[in-house]
Structures are given as structure tokens and as C-alpha cells.
Amino acid sequence: MRLLALSLTTLVAVNLLTPWTDACAQEPEADAQAAPVEAEPIPVPEEEATPPTPAKRLEIAVRTYQRSDADTAQALLAGLVNDETYEDEALRQEARVYLGEVLYLKQDQEAARRVFERVLTIDPTYRIDPFRHPPDVCGFFETIRAYVEPKKTVDVTTPGPVPPLPPLGYMGFGVYQLQHGRTAVGAIMLATQTVTGVLSIIEFGDLLGNRRYDPEESSELSILKRKQITQWTSTGLFYGIWGWSILDAGRHWRANIGVRPPTPNNEPSRPLPPPGIQLQVSGHFR
């Protein structure tokens, strides 16, 4: 009886435990189905950081300066100016101008002056844009230009010694003028001096041959006086035209013919050699 009772008890216990065991076995399977399987991340290679271009660096520095961060802008601009890895000189000049502007507005005018001097030394014709820079900075820049820009040197020369007028110029009768192609002036001088000279000689010869007159005949005395006046007038005109010819020849000679090449003031003038025959020997002698 005891054995039968124990068997029944065992059977009842097994029947009661079987549904609970099945439920416990099904819970891990449900959890496994509900939980998604996480995939391992695929490693993506990081792209190398591209350094900004010089133009971009200048743009960043200018924006930093415009945000009133003068110290940071100064450091960025100085680095851009001193960077030798690029060859864009126009951009470097623009960076120098902004650097000088920052220094000027920071009341460091001596450093700003040196930066602007560097800009003008490289390009004396450089102009800053008045629409992008303050008026006081533009005025300071132009002040630096006033003494950095080289002054135009003017070669002051002194004329060389003028050789004397050749003997042809003292001959009169328009000979010098005709010789140098001044036909009109030479022809006038030749004609007038010839006529007055001939008239003076004729009147002078007539006066020498007819110096006597009758005192009772007043007409003879007036004729002699008229001949004398004519002779004096023609003689005066003859020598006056001769002097005019000499003065005109000298003026023309100095202005067109006899002027030697000018001698610069900074070069000593060489003395003219004395007249005569000279022998000059050059070479290497031991």
C-alpha cells in the first residue's frame, strides 16, 4: 500500500512540474528571438585633414580681425606673411597691409610703419583700397609713401666750353650765313653791305676830287655837304651791317654748331690738351 501511494505521489509531482519546465525552456528562446543581433561596426578610414589655402587663411584672419580679436588676427596674419610655402606675392602684400592696419589700430605705429615700408619697398606703386581700410590707416600709409618712394633724380648738366667763332663769321657780306644755309639773311646782308660800301667809296672819291668850291656860289657848298652826308651815312650803314653779320654768326654758332656735349656736374671736366703735336703711348710695361 505504501509503495502504491509513493508511486501515485511521484506521478502527480511529475505532471505538475512538466508545464513549468517547458515554460522555462521557452523563455530563453523567446528572448533570443526578441533581441536583435548587433552587427559589428565596419571600420571606415579617416580622411586626412586638408590644410586651408593661403586665400582661405587670409579670409579667416580678416574675419577674426573684424570680430575685434586683434591679437589672434595679428598672429594669423604674421604667420601668413612669414609663410614661405606659397608664392602668391599679391596675397602676401594684402596680408602685410592688414597686419600693418592691425598694428596701427593697436597703437603700435612703429611696427605698422615698418610693415608699410616693406610693402612700398617691394612695390612703390602699391595702392590700398580706401573702401576696405579705414581713412586714418590710408592716410598713414600715404604718409609712409611720401618718404619711402624714391625721388626722381634730375641730371643737372653744365654746357661745355664753346669754341671760338671761326674766321668765316667775321668776314661780313653774309658769307657765314650763306655758308650755313641761311640764304635769305645772307642775301640781304650781301646786297646791303655791297651797295653801301660801293656808295661810300664813290662819294669819298668824289669828295677827294672836288673839294674846292666858289664861296659866292652857295649851291656848290650845299652839293658838297650833301655828298658828305651821303658818304658818312653809307659808311655807317656799311659797318653797321658788317657788325650785324658778326653778331648773327656768333649767335648761330653758339646755338647750333659750336656747342660741345654737356659735362655732368658729378664728373670732373678734363682739361683741354695744349696745342701742338702730342704722342700718347699706352700698354703694359715691365
Per-residue pLDDT of 76-102, as tens digits, reads: 999 988 988 888 889 999 999 999 999
CB of 209 within 8 A of CB of 250?
no
CB of 101 within 8 A of CB of 79?
no
Higher pLDDT among residues 218 and 265, named by residue: 218
130-144, 167-181, 254-268: least confident range: 254-268
Q: What is the mean pLDDT of residues 101-117?
A: 90
Residue 207 confidence (pLDDT): 75
Residue 275 confidence (pLDDT): 46
Q: pLDDT tens digits for 133-174? A: 999 999 999 988 888 766 566 665 555 666 788 888 888 888
The pTM score is: 0.40
Evaluate if residue 29 carries a pLDDT over 90.
no
Evaluate if residue 215 carries a pLDDT over 50.
yes
Band of residue 222 on the pLDDT scale cut at 50, 70, 90 = confident
Give exposure, 92-124, as e/b (b: 16+ Cβ within 10 Å).
bbbbbbbbbbbbbeeeeeeebbebbeebbeeee
Q: What is the mean pLDDT of residues 57-70?
A: 90
Q: Give 236's contacts (C-beta < 8 A, 6+ positions apart).
A: none
Band of residue 3 on the pLDDT scale cut at 50, 70, 90 = low
Instruction: Say what percent of the chain tops pLDDT 90.
Output: 16
Which CATH architecture best describes the domain 54-148? Answer: Alpha Horseshoe (1.25)
Q: What is the mean pLDDT of residues 123-129?
A: 89
Q: What is the number of alpha carbons within 13 Å of residue 200 lying toward its C-beta?
A: 14
Residue 164 confidence (pLDDT): 83
Residue 49 confidence (pLDDT): 63
